[in-house]
Amino acid sequence: MDDTRALSDNSYAGHLNASGATSVGYSDVPALMTGLGRRARQAARRMALASSEQKNAALRAMAASIRTRAASILAANAEDLAEAAATSRTPAFIDRLTLNPERLEAIAEAVESVAALPDPVGRVLARFERPNGLRIERIATPLGVIGVIFESRPNVTADAGALCLKAGNAAILRTGSESFRSALAIADAMGEGLERAGLPADAVRLVPTRDRAAVGAMLTGLDGNLDVIVPRGGRSLVARVQEEARVPVFAHLEGLNHVFVHERADLEMAKAIVLNAKMRRTGVCGSAETLLVDGACAATHLKPLVLMLLDAGCAVRGDAATQAVDPRVTPATEEDWRTEYLDAIISVRVVGGLDEAVAHIETYGSHHTDSIVTDDAAVAEHFLRQVDSAIVLHNASTQFADGGEFGFGAEIGIATGRMHARGPVGVEQLTSFKYHIHGSGQTRP
Amino acid sequence: MDDTRALSDNSYAGHLNASGATSVGYSDVPALMTGLGRRARQAARRMALASSEQKNAALRAMAASIRTRAASILAANAEDLAEAAATSRTPAFIDRLTLNPERLEAIAEAVESVAALPDPVGRVLARFERPNGLRIERIATPLGVIGVIFESRPNVTADAGALCLKAGNAAILRTGSESFRSALAIADAMGEGLERAGLPADAVRLVPTRDRAAVGAMLTGLDGNLDVIVPRGGRSLVARVQEEARVPVFAHLEGLNHVFVHERADLEMAKAIVLNAKMRRTGVCGSAETLLVDGACAATHLKPLVLMLLDAGCAVRGDAATQAVDPRVTPATEEDWRTEYLDAIISVRVVGGLDEAVAHIETYGSHHTDSIVTDDAAVAEHFLRQVDSAIVLHNASTQFADGGEFGFGAEIGIATGRMHARGPVGVEQLTSFKYHIHGSGQTRP
């Protein structure tokens, strides 16, 4: 379809007009994106200086606007759904795209819950006094302008926008094409909430076109007006962003997570953790994909673990030792150790102890989340130290890889890079810092 | 000259051969750099797991090697100097390039002083317990492989390598062409020190060619084997790295720093701070380039400040009010507010109070270091909060913008970006983190 025409008279375009951007035609996507970036930067400057009260008032007003505009948001969603129905989408896809009054209320409540989080801006991260009397403080500040590129899930518009705003940032949101109208309706409600709190609506903007060129513009950094990109979605989206972005990216390409059952693992605990790590939800990035069993306990632990998985409906692909356990186990190939199934499938391998387990994880893993089950604290410490993943656990399920489970309140994603943010990216990770120095006339010798 | 031939039988090439890279010809720079990146990544993995004792032993052994190899390092430096003398280099350039026994001893001592710093790796940055009993710790880890691109200052080879090593990283060092032989001799000494401590010499490597294609390879990230680049040098170098690098960069393009003398500034304190900020050393990034004087105190403060600067040998370029103070003041153009002089020149402007001062700094500044002189604590807080610079000072000289003055021990540079590191980049800023989680069998509901 022609985005330009479809959007020419919607409320978002009205916002743009109100901002003095009447000359931006959506057919000129580069100009549109340049303007979006420039206004986001201006908005970010105002947001950085907004008080906690003002930001929280805006979040509450956003939630209120989402509620009062429920009818129009649901109508927009109905249009999205009608279009999606005309294509051959999976039921799961349609389900993620679907809004209803209950889901919309949950979205509003999620925005309110962000208001209830502590303000990450202004925290004193460090404080030290120098021999010359200078008092130096490291103070948390916003990051700036955050670009979020996500799949067709309408709720992400509100979640991501709220988190960025809470940390004093401006957000440029790019939704998947299929949820475009729903996301636009929600973003409009958020803009209204910002303005009601005396803050600029430009602090949370949805890219107002489905044209793919808009993503390209974001990846180049919008003339220096985009500080970081958070891609949320499938592997191909994340891979493209990581490959092409000229600005930092907070993301994980995949969660190829392991559970290592050490020879000193309690079998019942190992069974509970493995079952939960693999089967609680198979489609989340924290799910386990490979089970490593210490050869020293294979005689006692391997068969019960494999049978438990098979009985739970999980397909097991194993090495020779694992295949010997049960005829339902199929052979694992080299490719299996590298595969993030995101499904009820697990690869299982017997390894010759701790070092071989670590070596397997470093060779095949994705540096996301890995767990060891053992009663030996020294072995556990060795594992936690050696495994170079964002999250390493001892005697707990990999499915705890989630900002909410960390107590971060909410997360915009999980990062496996080592720069700035690593692990769950919550509001604290959406901040930077600066140094405040108080003197009494000090000059440098 | 032909680097390939000049280097074919030096000790560095020998190191490469010992590492099994005999097939790398320096004429094939991409292959050379690919191999350098791959071996640095392997070395980084070993460095990440090295104990504090091992790293410090390596640093002390490096210092010892620099001392025992003094004759060959000075001979290499003499060759560099002879080549530089054949070109028309400035005396200051030649001075920076020159080593002598005293300077070499200072280099060795600087490496030893890094050994004496606390180990930034393994610090517990945060610790919290969840209601389900999970104990979560955020632990400092190394960043990985750090690329440092610097001008022809032999000492940077040792300083940068030592700081990267201390934080458990591997370093790939690219020196300016003119100090190539000196830097190579120092890097060889550092490699020897690493090996004496049982650590891989690949953890600190100088790019063994002067071919400019090597810089291009570093900017692309060496196939994912380079995690961050630190450019140290002139504006054009930093600008190129910031423009072209596909990996994060810790840098400042310039230090266009301001001192704002507020109406409630003590005149004597203002004079001392302005004189020091501008004239202590004019060529450092923390030097002030623009003086802003509050219109409300211009009648009493402007003339003494301007006369003091003129009398100290500083050229003053001012707005109309400043020109009226003394005939030696020349007119400041719009370009002056945007110019980092790095010389005994200052631009001076009278502004209509705090907000106009902040607006000037945000318009023309470089987000590096800015200072306010005032007796009004509330005004100072407003300034520190509003000015979006890495370092903001109250009643102190901008020349404190230095890792040593912060108590960081040493710095690899000063960053004005908002991602990961900001302000002085010391060993702590050369680390990342990961989460260690200890459970007792927790599974996620």
A94 and A133, same domain (yes or no): yes
Of A136, A362, A400, the CB nearest to B444: A400
Report yes or no on A108 lying in a domain.
yes
For residue B398, give how far its alpha carbon lies from the nearest alpha carbon of chain A (Å): 8
* Same domain, yes or no: B14 and B130: yes
Q: Out of B136, B227, B407, name the one closest to residue A418 (CB).
A: B227
pLDDT (tens digit, 9 = 90+) per residue, A268-280?
999 999 999 999 9
Which of A212, A244, A276 represents a domain boundary (last residue)? A244
- Nearest-CA distance B28 → chain A (Å): 25
- Number of domains making up chain B: 2
Whether B397 and A443 lie within 8 Å, measured CB to CB: yes
pLDDT in tens, chain B (445 residues): 222 223 323 333 333 333 333 333 477 999 999 999 999 999 999 999 999 999 999 999 999 999 999 999 999 999 999 999 988 888 989 999 999 999 999 999 999 999 999 999 999 999 999 999 999 999 999 999 999 999 999 999 999 999 999 999 999 999 999 999 999 999 999 999 999 999 999 999 999 999 999 999 999 999 999 999 999 988 899 999 999 999 999 999 999 999 999 999 999 999 999 999 999 999 999 999 999 999 999 999 999 999 999 999 999 999 999 999 999 999 999 999 999 999 999 999 999 999 999 999 999 999 999 999 999 999 999 999 999 999 999 999 999 999 999 999 889 999 999 999 999 999 999 999 999 999 999 999 9
Does residue B100 lie within any of the structural domains? yes
What residues of B are in contact with residue A141 (Cβ under 8 Å)? 388, 418
Segments of chain A with pLDDT less than 50: 1-25
Cβ–Cβ gap B396/A227 under 8 Å = no
How far does A391 lie from chain B, in Å, by closest CA? 5
Query: Are A422 and B443 an interchain contact pair (Cβ–Cβ within 8 Å)?
Result: no
Of the candidates A386, A400, A442, which has its C-beta nearest B134's C-beta? Answer: A400
- Does residue A415 lie in a domain region? no
Looking up residue A378, the CATH number of its domain turns out to be 3.40.309.10
Among A114, A79, A112, residue whose Cα is nearest residue A98: A79
pLDDT for the residue numbered B354: 98
B441: nearest CB among A49, A228, A273 = A273
| pLDDT score at B27 | 79
Quick one: closest CA in B to A44, which residue?
B388
CATH code: domain of residue B49 = 3.40.605.10
Residues B152, B9, single domain; the answer is: yes
Note whether A278 and A232 are same-domain residues. no
* pLDDT attached to residue B276: 98
**CA pair distance A334, A41, nearest whole angstrom:** 47
Shortest alpha-carbon distance between residue A115 and chain B (Å)? 21
CB crowding A290-321: b at 16 or more within 10 Å, else e:
bbbbbebbbeebbeebbbbbbeeebebbbbeb
Q: Which amino acid is at A305?
A: L
**pLDDT at position B26, please?**
72
B13 and B159 housed in the same domain: yes
Both A206 and A335 in one domain: the answer is no
Inter-chain contact B406–A136, Cβ cutoff 8 Å?
yes
Note whether residue B416 is domain-resident: no
What is the bridge-based pairing of β-strands B135-142 and B124-129? antiparallel
For A109, the token pair is: 């409540």
Does residue A340 fall inside a structural domain?
yes
Domain boundaries, position A368:
257-405
Question: Which chain A residue's Cα is nearest to B219?
Answer: A246
pLDDT at position A11: 35
Cβ distance A396 to B441 less than 8 Å, yes or no, reads yes
Interface touch A130/B407, C-beta < 8 Å: yes
Is A421 part of a structural domain of the chain?
no
Contact in structure between B99 and B73 (CB atoms under 8 Å): yes
B422·A432 Cβ contact <8 A: yes
- Are residues A77 and A149 located together in one domain of the fold? yes
Give me the interface pTM, i.e. the ipTM. 0.91
Q: Is residue A439 part of a domain?
A: no
Task: For Cα atoms B60, B63, B64, give the angle at the middle one, nearest 5 degrees.
Answer: 90
* pLDDT for the residue B332: 98
Alpha-carbon distance A114 to nearest alpha carbon in chain B (angstroms): 19
Q: Are residues A270 and A353 in the same domain?
A: yes
Domain boundary among B214, B244, B274: B244
pLDDT of residue B234: 86
Query: Smallest Cα–Cα separation from B346: which of B277, B295, B395?
Result: B277
My answer on whether A9 and A158 are in the same domain is yes
Contact B435 A406 (CB under 8 A): yes
* Short-list A362, A372, A330, CA closest to A348: A330
Do B207 and B333 sit in the same domain of this protein? no
Q: Which of A244, A268, A286 is where one domain is finished?
A: A244
CA distance A105 to A102: 5
Q: With CB atoms and an 8 Å threshold, state whether B438 touches A143.
A: no
State the virtual CA torsion across B223, A222, A421, B442 in degrees, nearest 10: -100
- Distance between B418 CA and the closest CA of chain A, angstroms: 6
B287 and B233 within one domain: no
Q: Is residue B378 part of a domain?
A: yes
B444 contacts A276? CB cut-off 8 A: yes
Pair A84, A175 in one domain: yes
List chain A residues with CB under 8 Å of B388: 45, 48, 141, 434
DSSP letter assigned to residue A332 = P
Residue contact B434–A442, C-beta within 8 A: no
> A268: burial class by Cβ within 10 Å (0-12, 13-18, 19+)?
exposed
